[in-house]
Structure 1
Amino acid sequence: MKKVILAAMIAATLAGCASSGNKQLSKETETSVQSKIQEGKTTKTEVKTFFGSPDNVSYTDGGNEIWKYAFAKVKVDGTTFIPFYGLFHNGTNGTKKELTILFKNDTVEKYTMSESAINTKSGWAD
């Protein structure tokens, strides 16, 4: 029994958390982005300096550019590592940040920054 508990504790420690996306965005908040980006003034070059290359670039019908940045950090629920119980009740939780910027010519016309919770359940009973 002690070996099972020790194995579960080691697995929980090693699982930790995972992150993906734009690392510069991981440290940002709505307030910090607001201090860096000014609508009508900030240029594409300045945005690249702050956040790097965008994750996704698209265009509006009018030809304006849209840049998207995203970052997600998730942790595995501890119940995942409980023998047998983990088959029925497991998942992840964390946060996701998204920054979307609309450019008109070379300057920022509008932008949005959001942060939301991520919760997934993947057990047989969830």
Structure 2
Amino acid sequence: MKRIAIISVVAFSLLMAGCASSGNKHIQKETETSVQTKIQEGKTTKTEVKGMFGSPDSVNFTDGGKEIWKYSFAKVKVSGKSFIPFYGLFHNGTTGTKKELTILFDGDKVQKYTMSESAIDTKSGWAD
């Protein structure tokens, strides 16, 4: 019985060590459609955006002085190949998804915004 418990703990630890997420948790479950229902160009204000998504990850300005807010979230999983002794040195990496919400403000109101989701696939083994 003790042996089964130890094996279960080790297996669970390996599974949890293989996943990671980073970025703004507020956009983790957002989609293009859900963002369309929350943000209206020409109407939604900075205060409303901050209330929905929190503080932006980065703030930049255009040459004309307009503000650009960016939010991003990434969730990746380490490839199972990474844990195979010796083989993992040559073939390993991560897969996952990245979401990014970019908002352009004209004064206090949203002028334009984009929400995108893309796949992440990195290879970091010696043979990759």
Question: Structure 2-normalised TM-score?
Answer: 0.89
SS at match of 2:100: strand
State whether residues 22 and 70 of structure 1, in contact with CA within 8 Å, keep that contact through their aligned partners in structure 2.
yes
Where in structure 2 are the equivalents of 1:3-82 lying within 5 Å?
9=11, 12-82=14-84
Structure 1 10/28 Cα, relative in aligned 2: closer, same or farther at 3 Å?
closer
Q: Given the alignment, which residue of 116, 122, 125 partners 1:123? A: 125
What runs of 5+ residues in structure 2 fail to find an aligned partner? 1-7
The residue type equivalent to 2:118 in the other structure is S
Aligned length: 122
Structure 1 64/80 Cα, relative in aligned 2: closer, same or farther at 3 Å?
same
For residues 40-83 of structure 1, the C-alpha deviation after alignment (integer angstroms, 9 at most, x for no partner) is: 00000000010000000011111110000000000000000011
- Report how far residue 15 of structure 1 moved: 1.4
The residue type equivalent to 2:80 in the other structure is G
Structure 1 89/11 Cα, relative in aligned 2: closer, same or farther at 3 Å?
farther
State whether residues 19 and 74 of structure 1, in contact with CA within 8 Å, keep that contact through their aligned partners in structure 2.
yes
Distance in 2 separating the partners of 1:22 and 1:14 = 20
Identity of aligned residues (%): 77
State whether residues 11 and 81 of structure 1, in contact with CA within 8 Å, keep that contact through their aligned partners in structure 2.
no
- Report how far residue 16 of structure 1 moved: 3.0
The residue type equivalent to 2:89 in the other structure is L
Q: Given the alignment, which residue of 105, 108, 111 partners 1:106? A: 108
Distance in 1 separating the partners of 2:12 and 2:61 = 48
